[in-house]
Structure 1
Amino acid sequence: MDAEIRGQLRRISNLPFYAQRALTAGIDLTHVETWEQFQELPLLSRADFEDCFENDTAWGGFRVPGVVRMNFTPSARLGLLPEFHTPSDLAASARALAAVARAAGITADDVVQVTLAYHVLVAARLFDEGFAELGACSLQAGAVPTEQQLNLARRGHPTVLMSNPSFAQRLGEAGLRGIRRMVLTGEPFTAIEGRREALKDAFDGELLSAVDTYGVSECFPVAAECRAETGMHLREDFCVVEVIDSETLDPVPHGTAGELVVTHRNKQGMPLLRYRTGDLAVVEATECECGATTVLPRGVFGRTDNMTKVKGVKLYPSQVAFILAGFEGLDPRQYRITLRESNGVDQIALKVAATTTDVDIAAVKRSLKEGTLLSFNDVELVPAIDEGPTVDDLRGDARRNIASVGSAK
């Protein structure tokens, strides 16, 4: 474990939130010296943050000198959770995002049209600061409708688009031109087969690169592609990333799917220590032409919520939605997995809403097998899926309904 992380542990040991957690766990953060000791520290969840802010809605045990910005992130339980940033935090984020932009091929000569929302949430402003650090110009369009975006583009002549993938594609189909590079966030992109190709087609092949980025609202960036488009590289200068088994909480080796866990390297306002993102990914050690050595080759392709075991294999329902999204005519928001048992063997069937019958079922089954490592016994196309569970588990005597339709959005 390097000196920067040891210094971060010493700093956060003084925060009331982490001091109480350490006391409860019987550990001393200032005495953690090895990676093995680090991996024994308690994991942190969104629920832990919600607990601490429920009674102290302003600071929640994270009051530190010099906080200059407060943003909010959605919380199912509390509505909104605050996030805090000091000048040092903002500078570190700007450097990391400038490096992301540089790796994407953006230069100081570029004008970047940013279509993300600027109210309350943090991503748009952080990206702006990264572009400014690089010397590029941000055209702060914000989350305005398509026609207004096109009008702003006609006046501002952007060469780069910062957007989410679906809105970027809509702008291309509406006639936006002159964009040579694209930085994407907020939605699955590399995790969905064929999505990059469809996006580039919408811009008539003008795009030199369209890169994916990933982070959580409390820690951004965590990973990002370079212009080689070979998968998202971990931003190991900004945070430490672990991959764990979401059931046993043990580390998993490279190449094995698991839950991403992130730790800030050097953050003062509301730092994360072994924070469970709930996002499912595979990390591989692969050297890229840009010099990066760790990559998320398939991006983030599901959530670890509501995992169930089928034929001894862990099935994450949201992972199925990512696979279905790669097939035209299928609605990844409407599907149902039914599990049955026949002669002691698990059987797995899928119903999915479709707008056409012209879907290659064999190809869907192949993609499901590649993505989940499970052979689906049946895939059926239906006009719509009734309200109900996403996974209907009819094995044995107990009926266990997991999640609900639309939970994989």
Structure 2
Amino acid sequence: MIYWDQEKECMPIEQLRELQLRRLKETVYRVYAFVPAYQKKMDAAGIKPDDIKTLDDLKKLPFTTKQDLRDNYPFGLFAVPMSEVVRIHSSSGTTGKPTVVGYTKKDIDIWAELMARALVSAGATRHSVIQNAYGYGLFTGGLGVHYGAERIGASVIPSSGGNTKRQIMLMQDFGTTILTCTPSYALFMYEVMQEMGVDPADLKLKAGIFGAEPWSENMRREIENNLKIDAYDIYGLSEIIGPGVAVECKYKNGLHIAEDHFIAEIIDPETGEVLPEGEQGELVITAITKEALPIIRYRTRDLTTLDRTPCPCGRTHVRMQKVLGRSDDMVIIRGVNVFPSMVESVLLNIPGVEPHYLLVVDRKGNLDELEVQVEVSEKVFSDEVRKLEELGAHIRRELESALGVSVKVRLVEPKSIERSEGKAKRVIDKRKF
């Protein structure tokens, strides 16, 4: 078995728990001292840093949510001065403001180490040629993988997303051995290969590391059969650190969470109570080594289970099962987080549009598609076809600019979208994971 850091990845459980507790205590003292928002939340809950004496005391601490990051935009949750922040990334928010994450030099170093672990877990070595088709920029995926690949000494092709025929040409000409991208994009690449007359068996591809969106075992089989590779799942969130929080080993029986850097819990998404081991619920993560943005009990909204049974690979860190879905209305479209309220904030600024809409997500072939059904006023709906088409095109442009993904817009007549006396149903997800 090959590891990047065997001492840490295979650390005895008792030693791992001692390390977690020490780092948890240090993190709690730090956020209480340097992050006013955390101090306020802890004071409101009647909790002081000295109250954290065991790992079980973690559940006494208040949760952190995406809303906390928005409320403290942009740098209110940072625990270090900006002079120590060497990198800023951001992810989508539900309004015009994104959620912002920062990194110190040490944070970047830890991130590179975690991604090195992930890549080696999927069979990468310093002799690998890694084609990184995750997006570069404010999205954490591209640079996270890039730094990890360089850390192990592999050759990196920073191809980013899109321009699929060129991606395939690079695979042929540069001898790509490992592909990193979203799973749906990997399948789309295969479709384009077929159109180009390229046989995947003629490529040097051996493995792929796919994440940023939920994907099923059926999709794994399809990717592996079509591209003739081993397909590995990877998990991460910008708010926690980015990709590399968890990754599969060669046994593909769950994703090992890097427990020397993160503490994972499963809670009931409705009550917030910690659930017994093995039960399905919402994943909550505490980051215990981050300097710029230490996160306490972050509610990921991802539904999964934790498995602490021994893994044949020898790694002792807990495994999370593939994400089963979301506990909120957020949907992930080709790696981009989309919230209904993001759509709403755009629509409410367009004259003639009613405040009733529906997001319909489906998978056509191997790519996700988002259709936004929008109610228009009686006057607009009875207008001439050309004006309706112009309005639909205008809405589409505004939504694509705000969301960062392509959108289909369908204008519907007034009162045609189902009403609810409780929480409005804003999303219909037809995809099969």
Q: If the length of structure 2 is used for normalisation, what is the TM-score?
A: 0.69
- 2: distance between equivalents of 1:402 and 1:286? 40
Q: 271, 277, 281: which one pairs with 2:294?
A: 271
- Distance in 1 between residues matched to 2:53 and 2:190, nearest whole Å: 51
2:426 to 374, 382, 404: 404
Say whether the 8 Å CA contact 1:388–1:405 is kept in structure 2: no
Following TM superposition, the consecutive aligned residue runs of length 4 or more in structure 1 with deviations greater than 6 angstroms are 324-329, 331-334
Shift, 1:7, TM fit: 1.4
> Could you say what secondary structure the match of 1:214 adopts?
strand
Cα contact 1:114–1:138 (8 A) shared by 2: yes
Output one character per residue of 1:195-228: Cα deviation in whole Å (capped at 9) or x when no partner: 111111221xx31x21001111112322211122
Q: Give the 3 Å change call, closer, same or farther, for CA 193–328 of structure 1 in structure 2.
A: farther
Aligned to 2:258: 235
- Counterpart pick for 1:187 among 197, 207, 213: 213
Name 2:249's counterpart in structure 1.
226
Measured against aligned partners, the alpha-carbon deviations of 1:165-218 in whole angstroms (never above 9, x if no partner) come to 0111122331353210111111112xx241111111221xx31x2100111111
Residue of structure 2 in register with 1:69 after alignment? 87
**How far apart are 1:81 and its partner, in Å?**
1.9
Change (3 A) 1:145 1:306: closer
Moved more, 282-291 or 268-277: 282-291
Of 45, 50, 60, 2:65 maps to: 45
The alignment covers a number of residue pairs equal to: 328
Residue aligned with 1:158, SS: coil
Higher relative contact order (CA 8 A, sep 6+): 2
Distance in 1 between residues matched to 2:69 and 2:282, nearest whole Å: 19
Q: Distance in 2 between matches of 1:168 and 1:6?
A: 42
Question: In the alignment, is residue 126 of structure 1 matched against residue 144 of structure 2?
Answer: yes
For residue 280 of structure 1, the aligned residue among 297, 303, 306 is 303
- Percent identical pairs in the alignment equals 27
Structure 2, unaligned stretches of length 5 or more? 1-19, 331-360, 372-409
Q: After TM superposition, list the pairs within 5 Å mapping 1:91-240 onto structure 2.
A: 91-173=109-191, 174=193, 175=198, 176=200, 177-189=203-215, 192-203=216-227, 206-207=228-229, 209-219=230-240, 220=242, 221-240=244-263
2:320 corresponding residue in structure 1: 296
**CA displacement, residues 113-169 of structure 1 (integer Å, 9 cap, x when unaligned):** 000111221121111111111111210001132112122223322100001101111
1:24-57 deviation line (CA, Å, top 9, x unaligned) = 333212441122322111011111111121xxx3
**Equivalent-residue separation in structure 1 for 2:212 and 2:248 (angstroms):** 14
Alignment RMSD:
3.0
Q: Is the 8 A contact 2:90 2:101 kept in 1?
A: yes
Which has the larger strand fraction? 1
Deviation digits for residues 229-251 of structure 1 (CA, Å, limit 9, x no counterpart): 22212221221110000111111
**In the alignment, which of 60, 72, 83 is matched to residue 76 of structure 2?**
60
Does 1-10 or 109-118 show the bigger shift?
Answer: 1-10
- TM-score w.r.t. the length of structure 1 is 0.73
Contact 1:283 1:295 survives alignment (8 Å) = yes
Determine the C-alpha separation between the residues in 2 that align with 1:14 and 1:292: 35
Residue 63 of structure 1: how far off its partner (Å): 5.4
Higher alpha-carbon deviation: 150-159 or 116-125? 150-159
* Cα distance in 1, alignment partners of residues 238 and 329 from structure 2: 22
